């Protein structure tokens, strides 16, 4: 009962927060769950970067977001924070299956995202895993059905969705495409298209990129619904 009240209070804080406002300067200014706020604090993240200040409020309001900002601008937290809070507010549990899927172009970037997720997600009870190959498909498959959040590379994830019995993404709440420009440059368009075919249409999608290009907007057209565009430029 107390938990329910707490969730209602949190939801009200989100509803009352103008998603287009750029007033928030710190994570504490945002309507975030207690475990996310505590995980950020324990990881020594306090101030918001520009892309975080603009993208997180929109994402918390369930908008699809296409975010562009140069490398090093803090895009990882711009999607990990909304991922954690979306599942938290949905009271996601181990029985609900895969709630969030984060697609990265390379294994190395996937590992980096996973490490940030483990740090800031430490106060949450979600299970999270990496799907980047390197182990046998069978070994990976055995752990998949227990995962709430997966960070993956496109080819390997598609292999599981096509072949792993008893695993599906029918409940998925949120999809993240990170480094969308590199996903396209590395020739993953077909794999991502096929992946998206396995996902429910009612999900939220966040897409981030260091550069804007025709290929990125093509991918956005296919996977995002009426997105909010957030582009952060360096001031001259
Ligand atoms: P991008 O994905 O845009 O290239 P990252 O998410 O990898 O950027 O972040 C780049 C660096 O900035 C990382 O070392 C990260 O820890 C740091 N960083 C991100 N957000 C913040 C923040 N709000 N406060 C302090 N450092 C941050
Ligand atoms: Mg990045």
In a domain, 137, yes or no: yes
Q: Is 110 in the pocket of ligand 1 (CB under 6 A)?
A: no
Tokens of 46: 């306090």
pTM of the model: 0.97
pLDDT tier at 234, thresholds 50, 70, 90: low
Ligand 1 centroid to 121 CA: how many Å?
Answer: 16
Per-residue pLDDT tens digits for 194-230: 999 999 999 999 999 999 899 999 999 889 999 999 9
In a domain, 135, yes or no: yes
Tokens of 174: 């949120």
**Nearest CA, atom 15, ligand 1:** 74
In a domain, 236, yes or no: no
Per-residue pLDDT tens digits for 29-59: 999 999 999 999 999 999 999 999 999 999 9
In a domain, 114, yes or no: yes
Q: Nearest CA to 153 among 197, 109, 201?
A: 109
ipTM of the complex: 0.99
Round to whole Å and give the CA distance between 41 and 28. Answer: 9
What range defines the domain where residue 86 resides?
A: 2-231
The pocket of ion ligand 2, defined by CB under 5 A, consists of 75
Q: Give the total number of structural domains in the chain.
A: 1
In a domain, 186, yes or no: yes
Give me the CATH number covering residue 62. Answer: 3.40.50.300
Contacts of residue 207, defined as CB under 8 A and 6 or more positions apart, other chains included, come to 64, 65, 66, 67, 176, 177, 180, 216, 219, 220, 223, 224, 227
Mean pLDDT across 112-139 = 94
pLDDT for the residue numbered 18: 97
In a domain, 170, yes or no: yes
Query: In angstroms, what is the C-alpha Rg of the chain?
Result: 17
């Amino acid at each position: 009962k107390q938990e329910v009240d707490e969730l209602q209070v949190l939801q009200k804080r989100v509803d009352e927060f103008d998603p287009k406002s750029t007033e928030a300067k710190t994570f504490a200014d945002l309507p975030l769950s207690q475990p996310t706020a505590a995980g950020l604090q324990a990881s020594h993240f306090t101030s918001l970067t520009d892309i975080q200040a603009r993208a997180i409020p929109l994402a918390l309001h369930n908008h699809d977001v296409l975010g562009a900002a140069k490398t090093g601008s803090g895009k990882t937290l711009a999607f990990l924070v909304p991922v954690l809070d979306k599942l938290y507010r949905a009271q996601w549990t181990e029985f609900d299956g895969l709630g969030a899927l984060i697609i990265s172009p390379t294994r190395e970037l996937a590992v980096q995202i996973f490490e940030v997720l483990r740090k800031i997600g430490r106060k949450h009870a979600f299970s999270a895993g990496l799907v980047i190959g390197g182990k046998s498909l069978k070994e990976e498959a055995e752990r998949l059905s227990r995962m709430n959040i997966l960070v993956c590379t496109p080819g390997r994830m598609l292999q599981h969705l096509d072949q792993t019995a008893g695993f599906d993404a029918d409940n998925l709440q949120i999809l993240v495409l990170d480094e969308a420009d590199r996903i396209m440059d590395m020739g993953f368009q077909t794999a991502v298209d096929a992946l998206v075919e396995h996902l429910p249409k009612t999900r939220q999608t966040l897409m981030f990129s260091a550069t804007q290009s025709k290929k990125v907007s093509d991918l956005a057209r296919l996977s995002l619904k009426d997105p909010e565009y957030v582009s952060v430029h360096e001031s001259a």
